[in-house]
Structure 1
Amino acid sequence: MITLHHVPFSRSFRVLWLLTEMGQDCEIRSYDIADGSLRDPAFLAKSPAGRVPALEVDGKVLFESGAIVEYLCETRPEHGFGRAPGEAERAEYLMWVHFAETMAHVIANLNLQHIFLRDPAMRSPTVLKIEARRLAGTMQVMEQALADRDWLLPGGFSAADMMMGFNLFSAPYYVKMEPFPALRAYMARVEAREGYQAARALDGEQRFYAKPFYPFDAT
């Protein structure tokens, strides 16, 4: 049995989505970031930084979503979601898989400022503005890549889309989507996938965002 340690609407959704697309059943153990359960010694033994995802699979315990996604694709190549060494799209695939964390890091900084610093006086308007612009910049990179293709790789839907695509469901809380027509169409294609819909049904309720949009000049 595969066991996924999971927080709804977090990076662990990338792994849940990939497992669902692969048709791999898993036990989901859900956590709440606010109740201290991620600091429990039993969980820290699986994920030393106290963060999801952690995945128990093939007699191993893995953490870091990108590493887990690469491992699953390499050990289950029959599903075609990875790009193996020697394949023409390998370099571009790896670039997107790891660029996902560049974008996610910016989103995490915005989450910290807007969501987790409860006292507005603790927030920095300068940081909020810089990070919102950085996020828009990463989105523009995707916009350009998707201008003439349906998915990030010319060969079709891949784990790179699951890594990057997940970010786009948090990004619109901080950056308006109107200037990004290719990304809006891409998100619609993602939402139409049966695997995505099935994973979202398993995901659980998101508890991060209380508002539909957080402007960088909010107090």
Structure 2
Amino acid sequence: MITLHHCPQTRSMRTLWLLNELEVEFQVRFHAFDQSLREPEYLSLSPAGRVPALEIDGERMFETGAITQYLCERFSPDRMGRSKDSMDRMAWLVWVHFAETLSQHTAALTQQHVALREDSMRSPIVMKLEAARIGKCYDAIEARLSTPVENRDYLLTSGFSAADISVGQAVYMSRYFVKLDRHPAVAEWYERISERPGFQQSLPQGDGIYTQDFYEPWPVV
């Protein structure tokens, strides 16, 4: 049995989406995004107190990139993953791990806008810098999706994969802080992949981290 330890609207959504696409049997254990992740029981699964954590065949994993690569290699090496002989293997690895580049900037903005309760704790400079860095990440995705090759509906020429899941989930989070107005190819691609049942099933069913649809730059000038 596979058990995913998950907090809605966090990186573990990436693993939940992937598991839905893999169509394997699994169960989800939900956690609040709070100090309970620092309890000894959970730290035995994920030493840094982060989600996701995955229990599989008596073993434990953490870190989304590693989990994605392992699950794809085991259950779907040529559909969600790309095997070593695939022409898209190198690109698959790049984009699966690029998701974390985008996610780290979103995490910084989540801290600034959501986690820090008092205005005096927030830094307009950090907010501006991190939003600009998300924009640069959007630029990279836009360039990839705008490449004039056949079948560029997804990040890989060979079609939809866990690369789209990883980056797509990162974009889902970043859209709370930086809109896609200036990146039409990214917006079209995101709309396409977010219609998939696996994505829809990974959305929060109740409260998540974010209490509004978009967080304006602070302070608003």
Normalising by structure 2, report the TM-score: 0.92
Which runs of structure 2 are paired with 1:5-44 in the superposition (5 Å)? Answer: 5-34=5-34, 36-44=35-43
Match in the other structure for 2:216: 215
Helix, strand or coil at the partner of 2:194? helix
Normalising by structure 1, report the TM-score: 0.93
Are the equivalent residues in 2 in contact too, given 1:93–1:160 (CA < 8 A)? Answer: yes
Count of residue correspondences: 216
Match in the other structure for 1:69: 68
**Alpha-carbon distance in 2 for matches of 1:189, 1:145:** 16
Q: Greater CA deviation, 81-90 or 63-72?
A: 81-90
**Alpha-carbon distance in 1 for matches of 2:25, 2:9:** 19
Match in the other structure for 1:141: 140
Helix, strand or coil at the partner of 1:176? coil
Which runs of structure 2 are paired with 1:175-194 in the superposition (5 Å)? Answer: 175-194=178-197
Are the equivalent residues in 1 in contact too, given 2:7–2:51 (CA < 8 A)? Answer: yes
Instruction: Structure 2 unaligned segments of length 5 or more: list them.
Output: none
Which runs of structure 2 are paired with 1:100-179 in the superposition (5 Å)? Answer: 100-147=99-146, 148=148, 149-179=152-182
**Alpha-carbon distance in 2 for matches of 1:215, 1:96:** 28
Q: Greater CA deviation, 129-138 or 185-194?
A: 185-194
Hey, which bits of structure 1, 4+ residues long, moved more than 4 A? Answer: none
Q: Displacement of 1:135 after TM fit?
A: 0.4
Q: Greater CA deviation, 83-92 or 105-114?
A: 83-92
Spell out, residue by residue over 1:62-106, the C-alpha distance to the aligned partner (whole angstroms, 9 max, x if none).
Answer: 000110010001111366111122321111111111111110001
- Name the amino acid aligned to 1:24: V
Are the equivalent residues in 2 in contact too, given 1:115–1:209 (CA < 8 A)? Answer: yes
Helix, strand or coil at the partner of 1:82? coil
Q: Displacement of 1:33 after TM fit?
A: 1.1
Identity %: 43
Q: Displacement of 1:206 after TM fit?
A: 4.3
Q: Displacement of 1:216 after TM fit?
A: 2.5
Q: Displacement of 1:218 after TM fit?
A: 2.3
**Alpha-carbon distance in 2 for matches of 1:205, 1:158:** 28
Q: Displacement of 1:174 after TM fit?
A: 1.2
Are the equivalent residues in 1 in contact too, given 2:6–2:52 (CA < 8 A)? Answer: yes
Are the equivalent residues in 2 in contact too, given 1:54–1:62 (CA < 8 A)? Answer: yes
Q: Displacement of 1:217 after TM fit?
A: 3.0
Helix, strand or coil at the partner of 2:81? coil
Match in the other structure for 1:89: 88
Helix, strand or coil at the partner of 1:75? helix
Q: Displacement of 1:176 after TM fit?
A: 2.2
**Alpha-carbon distance in 2 for matches of 1:196, 1:33:** 21
Q: Greater CA deviation, 206-215 or 36-45?
A: 206-215
Match in the other structure for 1:199: 202
Spell out, residue by residue over 1:21-77, the C-alpha distance to the aligned partner (whole angstroms, 9 max, x if none).
Answer: 11112111101113x221121110010000100011122110001100100011113
Helix, strand or coil at the partner of 1:217? coil
Helix, strand or coil at the partner of 2:94? helix
RMSD between superposed Cα atoms in Å: 1.5
Are the equivalent residues in 1 in contact too, given 2:8–2:209 (CA < 8 A)? Answer: no
